[in-house]
A and B are shown apart, each in its own frame.
Chain A
Amino acid sequence: MNKEANYLKIHQLNKSFEQFTALEDVSINIQKGEFVCFLGPSGCGKTTLLRCIAGLETQSSGTILQDNRLISRLPTSKRDFGIVFQSYALFPNLSCFENIAYGLKNQRWSKYAVSTRVEELLELIGLSSHAKKYPSQLSGGEQQRVALARALATSPSLLLLDEPLSALDAKVRVYLRQELKNLHRRLGLTTIMVTHDQEEALSIADRIFVMKDGRIMQSGSPEEIYANPDNPFVANFIGMTNFLEGIVKGPMQLDIMGKIIAFDCKSFHEGEKVKVAIRPEAIEFTQSSKKEDGFSGNVVEIEFLGSFRRIHIETSLMPNELMIVDKPILEKSKKKIKIGSELNINISSNFLNIYKKDK
């Protein structure tokens, strides 16, 4: 990675609230123009990390550089960013126009310049006709866009978004997600978005940082993270995963319940017990009636989820849990799958990941 291109560098950031450690040794680099997501379960420290970048929270130790400038000890008002909060925090007694103009008025802009800029932004977010309305007269999605315009008004070079879509209903969310992405493409603004919704992160981000208990568990593009999770936590948090037991038999041999699969096990030693993770869509059913080809299982439950079916299977492969298999609705299968059907399950090395047992 080209070091010069790193626009925001966070180095060994720690943050604790009295006894409680909210961030632990967080080091990340973000490039100029990138759209990144901090993704993790509730309470993992995403907001805290964002607020440290904004100077709204003081780190216990560590440094933050923005554009090669040490900012971690600067007060909020000396940093260069725009922020949108989950609650939007629009000023209720100011109209849309005044809300967006709020930061400009203070910068000694002429009245004309202010109104030109605000109109430009209103157009950008497609709310030109709503300029005079108060926040309470706008829908949630519209409020969200006004908050975004307000944050963009002073042309910051970094945009921080704390769960900007979580207060909206599903349809609007998907729509605004796309809008946000388009806006990012047009403005090329370095953007950090906090979210706990993995689908949102996968669809919108150039790069995702998965967090857990104040630590970064993995970073990478959505595809990388989905296809090759570094650890069982990420594997399970991003998408669904079935965990099986396995034993390493050789550098290229993995034993799953007596069946040997060709798989790269070089980083494990022979005889080591491992955790095998396999995605629900990577599991196939075979028609062959010969038992030694795969494993058998009984269908316990079928969930209809729109474009695919989620099939829960009781199988000796996973003695303690039900195995989950996703099948597209349109996929032709010769045999109709019903509750109670017996199926042959085939595990291949596609979409397979193995992890140390104790993790």
Chain B
Amino acid sequence: MNIFGVISEKIALDQSDKIGKVLVYIYLLLFFCFLILPLIALMSKSMQNSDGEFIGLANFAIYLKEPALFSSFFNSLFVAVISTVIVVILGFLYAFALQCTCIPLKGFFRLIALVPLLSPSILAAIALVYWFGNQGILKSMLMGNSIYGPIGIIMASVYWTFPHALMILSTSLSLSDARLYEASEVLKASKLKTFLTVTVPGAKYGIISTTFVVFTQVFTDFGVPKVIGGNYNVLATDIYREVVGMQNFQMGAVISIVLLIPALLAFAMDQYSRKKQTAQLTSRAVVYSPKPDKLRDTILLIYCLIITVYVVMMIGMAQFGALVKFWPYNLSLTLEHYNFEVAGLGWNSFFNSIRMSLYTAFFGTIIIFIGSYIIEKMRSDKKMRDVLQLIALMPMAIPGIVLGLSYIFFFNMADNPLNFMYATMSILVVNTVVHFYTVSHLSSITAIKKLDPEFESVSLSLKVPVYKMFVRVTLPVCLPTVFDIFIYLFCNAMTTVSGVIFLYSYNTTLASVSSIHLDEQGDVAGAAAMAMLIVYISFLVRGIHSLISVSVLKRTQAWRNI
């Protein structure tokens, strides 16, 4: 029995495990280069003087002493809080109408509410200028107030954050427990009381989560305040002004950190409340199906129609403004605003945007899907994979403008070997992939979690390397999710402003950025036309996506429907 000596136990790695191990480290390296190091560069910049010497927190002291700068913080806070309150209430009522009542046309209302996702956030700001601006037809409704300022920012922010709020709130209302409604009915509680004691508390975590998400979006948004903020400064526009206008990079970095901290806090609290919600989800059993109620349904139908009108007002006016010869004096239609006569901001920026979005969607989808597969299915390096998972959540907490600024600091360093990426298409693509990483990553993880955990074991037992199985089984089975991620990345890359505003160069101008610059130069109609181009292409790509879903997916997913 000598053969059974004591042997220190360690199984030799499968080839598949080796590949996975290498990939884990490659991903860590990528995140390190394209997320961690740029953020470190940003932080060190905030503690340097203009000669690059370390001066500790002196810049922060200057910031606090400068009332003009410091007041922006409260401005940001003000518009974010007001917008959040409005969106949460409006979104909740809308979600309630869609989930818990018997109004007709639910499908239509759902679609309408999602339209803002297809347009850049500045589209609403531009439309508001047409409605309420100095030449606006509804200007008198503001009773002497200017649309350029907090009112405009809030009205536009409500428009573009509404679908995000609606999606979270609908999900949480769809989980409402029918048993509680029955109990409330048995106790003869009034309808209003049921609403306040059952519906609202049931969606508690959804409401909390929406609050944090909307708050962060408005708090960190750059495009809307840039277009319609007028003299009302917020943090994001301050960063832009310091960096682009005054070349004061250090102060830009300081304000970025001031912007980053509340965003991180909101993110942490959101994560916390989401965890609570999933715990709640598992204990749910009976699905609530609403009964008709004439009064309630009528009121909510009217309410949904009002929201619909608002959405149509925004997108319709942007389109109208793009087509009208000279608002509001000559309302004859023309396509001349689509000629974009301002140099460098024309159709080439539109095609750049399409290229950038295709690259982002293509490479982003591959990287995100493989990354989440590794995190979920690899067998070794558990600790490293946990680290990777944590890092993959980070981009969600980092405002686009902060990420963009940290990219310039990092890639512009002369001795950085990655310096060659500066001012190229590649830096735009990488930035956008990182910026939108988390949401896609999470949906990819969800899809992969649904796969049988033993697929890999089966494949190994049959001596088929895991990467072959990944191509033959994992990828085809997850194809619908992969397509969704592709579309999500494409549409967001088309509409993003804040992430790329610092990173484009003369050869790589983008449509969304052009729209802002056109507006800056007084060509509001051109800005509207450019924003609408983005809407068309987003519609087109979504349309192609549903066609593909119908044909290709039907064929490759035949096994699913049987």
Contact = CB atoms under 8 A, between A and B. Distances in A.
B464 A74 contact: no
A7 B3 CA distance: 15
Interface in B221-240: none
Interface string A60-84: 1111010000101111111101110
B462 A102 contact: yes
Contact of A89 (B4, B11, B454): B454
A83 B457 contact: yes
B383 interface: no
Nearest to B477: A93
Interface of B: 1, 3-4, 6-7, 9-17, 452, 454-455, 457-465, 468, 472-473, 476-477, 556-560, 562
Contacts of A76: 14, 457, 460-461
Interface in A135-155: 135-137, 150-151, 153-154
A136 B452 CA distance: 14
A191 B558 CA distance: 35
> Which of the listed residues A56, A79, A91, A92 has the most CB atoms from chain B within 10 Å of its own CB?
A91
Given A61-B6, A89-B458, 19 more contacts: A63-B4, A63-B7, A72-B11, A73-B10, A75-B17, A83-B458, A85-B452, A89-B452, A91-B472, A93-B477, A93-B559, A94-B473, A103-B462, A105-B464, A134-B558, A134-B562, A136-B562, A137-B562, A153-B462
A77 B464 CA distance: 8
Contact of B11 (A75, A82, A93, A135): A75
> Which of the listed residues B457, B473, B562 has the most CB atoms from chain A within 10 Å of its own CB?
B457
B12 A74 contact: yes
A76 B466 CA distance: 12
B22 to A, nearest CB: 16
Nearest to A98: B472
A106 B465 CA distance: 9
Given A93-B473, A102-B464, A137-B562, A75 B454 contact: no
29 contacts: A60-B9, A63-B3, A70-B3, A72-B7, A72-B9, A73-B9, A73-B10, A75-B17, A76-B461, A77-B16, A77-B461, A79-B461, A82-B461, A82-B462, A83-B457, A89-B458, A91-B455, A91-B472, A92-B560, A93-B556, A93-B559, A94-B472, A94-B473, A102-B472, A106-B463, A106-B465, A107-B463, A134-B559, A137-B562
A221 interface: no
A236 interface: no
A57 B279 CA distance: 30
A76 B12 CA distance: 9
A56 B464 CA distance: 15
A42 B457 CA distance: 22
Nearest to A63: B4
A105 B3 CA distance: 37
Nearest to B458: A89
Contacts of A93: 473, 476-477, 556-557, 559
Nearest to B475: A93
A72 B13 CA distance: 12
A216 B411 CA distance: 62
B6 A77 contact: no
A135 B559 contact: yes
B7 A106 contact: no
B284 to A, nearest CB: 25
A28 to B, nearest CB: 13
Nearest to A134: B559
A153 B464 CA distance: 13
B454 A85 contact: yes
A94 B460 CA distance: 17
Nearest to B557: A93
A76 B6 CA distance: 21
Contacts of A79: 461
A294 interface: no
A12 B9 contact: no
Nearest to B463: A77
Contacts of A60: 9
A177 interface: no
B562 A89 contact: no
Contacts of B562: 134, 136-137
A184 interface: no
A41 interface: no
Nearest to B12: A75
B301 to A, nearest CB: 41
Given A74-B12, A134-B559, A134-B562, A150 B4 contact: no
A58 interface: yes
A79 B460 CA distance: 9
> Which of the listed residues B14, B460, B476, B562 has the most CB atoms from chain A within 10 Å of its own CB?
B460
Closest 9 A/B residue pairs (Cβ) = A103-B462, A134-B559, A89-B454, A75-B14, A76-B460, A89-B452, A85-B454, A106-B464, A11-B4
> Which of the listed residues B6, B15, B459 has the most CB atoms from chain A within 10 Å of its own CB?
B459
Contacts of A59: 9
A201 to B, nearest CB: 22
A153 B463 CA distance: 12
Contacts of B7: 61, 63, 72-73
B11 A55 contact: yes
A87 interface: yes
Contacts of B13: 75
B6 to A, nearest CB: 7
A136 B559 contact: yes
A87 B558 CA distance: 21
A54 interface: yes
B14 A91 contact: no
B272 to A, nearest CB: 26
Nearest to A54: B461
A72 B3 CA distance: 13
A55 B458 CA distance: 12
Nearest to A65: B3
Contacts of A105: 464
Contact of B461 (A81, A91, A135): A81
B468 A106 contact: yes
Contacts of A75: 11-15, 17, 460
Contacts of A137: 562
Contacts of A107: 463
Contacts of A63: 3-4, 7
Nearest to B15: A77
A166 to B, nearest CB: 15
Contacts of B9: 58-62, 72-73
B463 A73 contact: no
B332 to A, nearest CB: 56
A53 to B, nearest CB: 11
Contacts of A82: 461-462
A42 B560 CA distance: 33
B455 A83 contact: no
Nearest to A102: B462
Nearest to A103: B462
A103 B463 contact: yes
A58 B457 contact: no
A82 B464 CA distance: 13
Contacts of B557: 93
A11 B7 CA distance: 12
